[in-house]
């Protein structure tokens, strides 16, 4: 398993993560910033890896 | 590039300057492909010197996907535009500003031209409205507008112009509804919002248009504050942290951005699907491909063909180049989206392909605020069009479709279709 780390200060609320991996990411109702629905993912989870790669603000990483 | 006959005192940077193209080539051989001259620049180097209009000052052009992402994610490349204003395509209005000293005054609320933290403060006032979830809730409203226009098309003359009858009204009705701007008052803002990003408008014309828009939206803001309705403009008007001019500037930005961009994509996207009939038929037979198909159309067509502009605020080294303060950098999204180092067979339109990572909505903290709305509009609009008019075809030879190449957004001026 990998840990998902979200930096809500850096988040630009683009919604790319919620669009790409809706099982793991949602957006705050007020300002659209990232909300983690799960803070862990399988090593081989391509959706989560894509969400991290596509984040325009560099606000997501895996550990 | 070797230059054996040159004397040693001519430096590499002087050579690069001498060979710098003047702006971004706009002439196309094919309506869906970037100009061959731009693709040639992209193949030659990931990043190069380029001269800018109107004076020919030297700046930079970035063409690869890798560097495009890097520049757009790096806020040392500022979104504030200092003077003298420089642009990658001819824009006569700027000549009026050649003698302007100092930085341009910021237009209040226009956060697209701001850096953090100013940009962050204003953008976060809007981001809650454009989330994936909120756009899903909006789906029935978008579908209603699409149905409305499809009914009008079916009841009207055949052939028809898809731009005027469908591509323009669908996103316009939706952004007006979201903002709370009366759609039936559109003659009060449509010409002015067009004037703001039309490249051949004069400087005076642009200023007048901006003042008109501020007056029109200003009136609406005052009315919404007195009698709030269930819309974005009322919410912004009620926000004690926002000045009136900021609210107006933000609303104008959304109105303008929400109008033209999706409209251009809907018309050009339809034309691309009609000219690649197998792709149209694929989407017809397998509607579940639509979400990916929309991403592929965004990538393949890249209507932001003149790229994204940034300005450097301080000297620094980037990818082995010495970048100087006040130099402009243009990120060529159309070549980044056709970069073979990132996409498989990028020259082909393939709705089953993987277009993830396209940069049509930009990258970095400025990435398109309305992208989830645009996606939803396109999915519903293309699906509705294909379902209602499965036999749709161009009513004129493809070479006769009038292309718009000299404006900020690439597209077609008209799309005559028949069914």
- Give pLDDT tens digits for B244-293: 999 999 999 999 888 889 999 999 999 999 999 999 999 999 999 999 99
Mean residue pLDDT across chain B: 92
pLDDT at B183: 93
Residue A58 with chain B: CB contacts under 8 Å: 73
CB-nearest partner of A12 from B132, B133, B365: B365
Locate the chain A residue with the closest alpha carbon to B375.
Answer: A19
Give domain limits for chain A: 2-62
CA separation for the pair B187, B377 (Å, rounded)? 23
pLDDT at B401: 98
pLDDT at B7 exceeding the cut of 90 = no
- The position carrying tokens 């060979």 is B19
Residue A27 with chain B: CB contacts under 8 Å: 131-133
Which tokens belong to B23? 């702006």
Give domain limits for chain B: 12-418
CATH architecture of A2-62: 2-Layer Sandwich (3.30)
CA distance B120 to chain A (A): 8
Which tokens belong to A6? 């979200």
Helix axes B371-388 and B169-179, enclosed angle (nearest 10): 140
Give me the DSSP letters along chain A. -EEEEE-TTT-----HHHHH-TTTEEE-TTT--EEES-SEE-TT-HHHHHHHHH-TT--EEE-
Q: Is B102 left (phi over 0), alpha (psi -120 to 50) or beta?
A: left
Three-state SS for B149-192 is HHHHHHHCCCCEEHHHHHHCHHHHHHHHHHHCCCHHHHHHCHHH
Among B24, B77, B97, smallest CA distance to B304 is for: B24
Residue B280: Cβ within 10 Å count: 22
| Cβ atoms of residues B24 and B332 within 8 Å | yes
| Cβ atoms of residues B360 and B262 within 8 Å | no
- The position carrying tokens 């597209």 is B411
Residue B367 with chain A: CB contacts under 8 Å: 12, 14, 16, 56-57
Angle at B224 (CA atoms; ends B222, B226), nearest 5 degrees = 70
Q: Do residue A56 and residue B367 have CB atoms under 8 angstroms apart?
A: yes
pLDDT at B2: 46
- pLDDT band, very low/low/confident/very high, at B357 (cuts 50, 70, 90): very high
- pTM here is 0.95
CA distance B242 to chain A (A): 15
Q: Tell whether the torsion through CA atoms of A35, A41, A46 and A52 is positive or negative.
A: positive
| Cβ atoms of residues B82 and B376 within 8 Å | no
Residues 3-62 of A with CB under 8 A from B: 12-16, 18-20, 22, 26-33, 50, 53-54, 56-58
Task: Please name every residue paired with B394 in a beta bridge, in sequence order, or none if there are none.
Answer: B417
Residues 68-97 of B with CB under 8 A from A: 72-73
Among B387, B380, B333, smallest CA distance to B361 is for: B333
CA separation for the pair B386, B157 (Å, rounded)? 18
Locate the chain B residue with the closest alpha carbon to A19.
Answer: B132
Q: Do residue A12 and residue B364 have CB atoms under 8 angstroms apart?
A: yes
CATH architecture of B12-418: Orthogonal Bundle (1.10)
Which tokens belong to B166? 């469908």
- A-interface mutation test, from B235, B292, B365, most A Cβ less than 10 A away: B365
| Cβ atoms of residues B305 and B336 within 8 Å | no
- A-interface mutation test, from B68, B367, B370, most A Cβ less than 10 A away: B367
Can you give the C-alpha Rg of chain B in angstroms? 22
- A-interface mutation test, from B70, B133, B291, B358, most A Cβ less than 10 A away: B133
Report the complex ipTM.
Answer: 0.96
- Give pLDDT tens digits for B151-166: 999 999 999 999 999 9
Q: Do residue B123 and residue A12 have CB atoms under 8 angstroms apart?
A: yes
CB-nearest partner of A27 from B73, B133, B375: B133
């Amino acid at each position: 398993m990998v840990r998902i780390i979200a930096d809500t200060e850096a988040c630009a609320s683009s919604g790319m993560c919620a669009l790409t991996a809706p099982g793991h990411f949602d957006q705050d109702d007020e300002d659209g910033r990232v909300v983690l629905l799960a803070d862990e993912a399988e090593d081989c989870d391509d959706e989560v890896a894509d969400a991290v790669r596509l984040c325009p603000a560099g606000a997501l990483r895996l550990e | 590039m070797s230059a054996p006959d040159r004397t040693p005192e001519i430096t590499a940077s002087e050579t690069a300057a001498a060979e710098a193209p003047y702006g971004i080539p706009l002439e196309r051989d094919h309506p869906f492909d970037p100009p061959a001259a731009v693709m040639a620049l992209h193949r030659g180097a990931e990043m190069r010197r380029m001269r800018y209009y109107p004076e020919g000052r030297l700046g930079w052009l970035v063409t690869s996907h890798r560097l495009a992402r890097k520049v757009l994610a790096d806020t040392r490349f500022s979104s504030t535009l200092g003077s003298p204003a420089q642009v990658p395509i001819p824009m006569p209005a700027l000549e009026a500003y050649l003698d302007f000293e100092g930085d341009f005054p910021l237009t209040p609320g226009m956060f697209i031209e701001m850096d953090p933290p100013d940009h962050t403060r204003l953008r976060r006032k809007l981001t809650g409205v454009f989330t994936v979830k909120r756009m899903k809730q909006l789906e029935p409203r978008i579908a209603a507008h699409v149905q409305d226009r499809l009914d009008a098309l079916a009841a009207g003359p055949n052939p028809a112009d898809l731009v005027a009858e469908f591509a323009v009204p669908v996103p316009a009705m939706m952004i007006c509804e979201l903002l709370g701007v009366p759609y039936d008052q559109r003659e009060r803002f449509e010409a002015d919002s067009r004037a703001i990003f039309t490249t051949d408008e004069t400087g005076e014309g642009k200023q007048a248009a901006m003042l008109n828009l501020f007056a029109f939206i200003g009136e609406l803001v005052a009315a919404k504050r007195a009698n709030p309705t269930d819309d974005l403009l009322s919410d912004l008007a009620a926000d004690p942290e926002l000045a009136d001019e900021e609210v107006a500037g933000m609303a104008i930005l959304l109105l303008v951005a929400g109008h033209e961009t999706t409209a251009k994509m809907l018309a050009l996207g339809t034309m691309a699907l009609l000219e690649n009939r197998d792709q149209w038929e694929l989407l017809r037979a397998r509607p579940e491909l639509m979400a990916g198909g929309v991403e592929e159309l965004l990538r393949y067509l890249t209507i932001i063909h003149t790229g994204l502009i940034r300005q450097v605020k301080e000297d620094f080294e980037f990818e082995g180049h010495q970048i100087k303060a006040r130099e402009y950098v243009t990120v060529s999204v159309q070549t980044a989206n056709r970069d073979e180092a990132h996409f498989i067979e990028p020259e082909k339109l393939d709705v089953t392909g993987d277009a993830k990572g396209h940069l049509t909505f930009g990258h970095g903290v400025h990435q398109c605020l309305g992208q989830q709305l645009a996606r939803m509009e396109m999915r519903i609009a293309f699906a509705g069009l294909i379902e209602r008019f499965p036999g749709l075809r161009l009513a004129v030879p493809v070479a006769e479709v009038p292309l718009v190449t000299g404006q900020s957004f690439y597209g077609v001026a008209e799309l005559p279709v028949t069914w």
